[in-house]
Structures are given as structure tokens and as C-alpha cells.
């Protein structure tokens, strides 16, 4: 992915949720990565094969996608490296700001009639979403006794009733 496309994807991801993100460009004699901060975390990436401030870097390939806490830094005197690497810019953006839930709390949903829902026994059941986060929902099914443990169901196995 080109750096220009990566910058556009970062801007669009945060804009969809109403946040105007500021992306810091690399500067000569400074950091060589593009970086952006949200909610105490820093996402960054660099250009493959050149320094970020060099001419033509915007057309280079984006690589080394990284996420760390804003107050956590690598230590050159030991083998401590702050944060972790991701495979692509989408994973970096979703680490900093997960996408909104497909079914927010209060939605009436039905279990899809797919293989996983059938095996787990909620295919065709109707229920109310009690809590939703990170692609999973806690659902209270109609006519089914509440289980001992809090079970969550993937959004992929649910469909909106109303």
C-alpha cells in the first residue's frame, strides 16, 4: 500500500466516527515515521527503502505498522521494545479506535440459520442485545433461561429483526 493511500485510510477511519485526527509527518533530523495519536495510543508507519522526509516518500510503500502507548518508549540499553507491530494500516486504526458495533445495545436480533448458530443452539431464536463490543454481542434470548455464564455471540451469526 502506498503512503498516500495509508494516510487517506487513517483519515477516513477516524472521520467516520466524527474524529478529526492529526497525522504528524516525518521531519529531517527527527523521526522517520508518520504517526498519529488517539486516546493514549500512538499508531505509526514508515516508508520502505527511504527516509520519510525524502522527496517522493509519499509515493513509496508504507510498512512497519506499529502501535504503542503514548508514554511508553523503547529502551536502547536493554531489549525492551515498546508496543507491537501490525500487518496493515487497518489493524492499526482498529487498535486505536474499534469500529462501532453493528448491533448496538437495545437492538432486536435473530440468530442466523448457519452451521455455527445451529450447533450452539441459538439459530432462529430472537433476543435483545444487552451489550456489544469488538464484534461480539451479549444477547438475552426470548423464552430461554439465562445461562450461568455470560455468553457472547459473534455479530456474523446475528441478523437484525427490526
The DSSP bridge pattern shows strands 41-47 and 136-141 to be unpaired
Range 108-160 has CATH code 1.20.58: no
User: CB–CB of 140/128 below 8 Å?
Assistant: yes
* Interval 96-151: pLDDT, tens: 998 888 999 999 999 999 999 999 999 999 999 999 988 899 999 999 888 888 89
- Spell out a b/e string for 94-126, using b for 16 or more CB atoms within 10 Å of the CB, else e: bbbbeeebbbeeebebbbbeeeebeeeebbeeb
Provide the sign of the torsion angle of the four alpha carbons 10, 12, 17, 22, taken in this order. positive
DSSP H helices, the chain, are 3-15, 89-96, 115-120
Residue ranges per domain, the chain? 3-96, 108-160
pLDDT at residue 76 tops 90: no
Predicted local distance difference test score (pLDDT) of residue 40: 93
- pLDDT band of residue 54 (cuts 50, 70, 90) is confident
Amino acid at each position: 500500500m502506498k503512503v498516500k493511500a495509508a494516510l487517506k485510510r487513517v483519515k477516513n477511519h477516524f472521520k467516520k466516527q466524527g474524529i478529526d485526527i492529526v497525522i504528524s509527518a516525518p521531519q529531517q533530523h527527527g523521526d522517520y515515521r508518520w504517526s498519529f495519536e488517539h486516546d493514549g495510543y500512538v499508531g505509526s508507519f514508515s516508508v520502505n527503502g527511504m527516509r520519510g522526509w525524502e522527496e517522493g516518500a509519499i509515493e513509496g510503500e508504507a510498512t512497519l505498522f506499529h502501535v504503542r502507548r503514548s508514554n511508553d518508549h523503547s529502551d536502547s540499553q536493554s531489549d525492551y521494545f515498546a508496543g507491537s507491530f501490525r500487518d496493515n494500516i487497518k489493524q492499526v486504526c482498529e487498535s486505536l479506535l474499534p469500529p462501532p458495533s453493528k448491533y448496538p445495545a437495545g437492538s432486536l436480533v435473530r440468530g442466523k440459520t448457519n452451521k455455527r448458530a445451529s450447533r450452539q443452539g441459538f439459530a432462529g431464536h430472537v433476543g435483545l442485545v444487552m451489550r456489544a463490543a469488538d464484534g461480539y454481542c451479549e444477547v438475552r434470548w426470548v423464552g430461554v433461561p439465562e445461562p450461568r455464564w455470560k455468553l457472547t455471540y459473534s455479530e456474523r451469526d446475528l441478523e437484525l429483526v427490526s
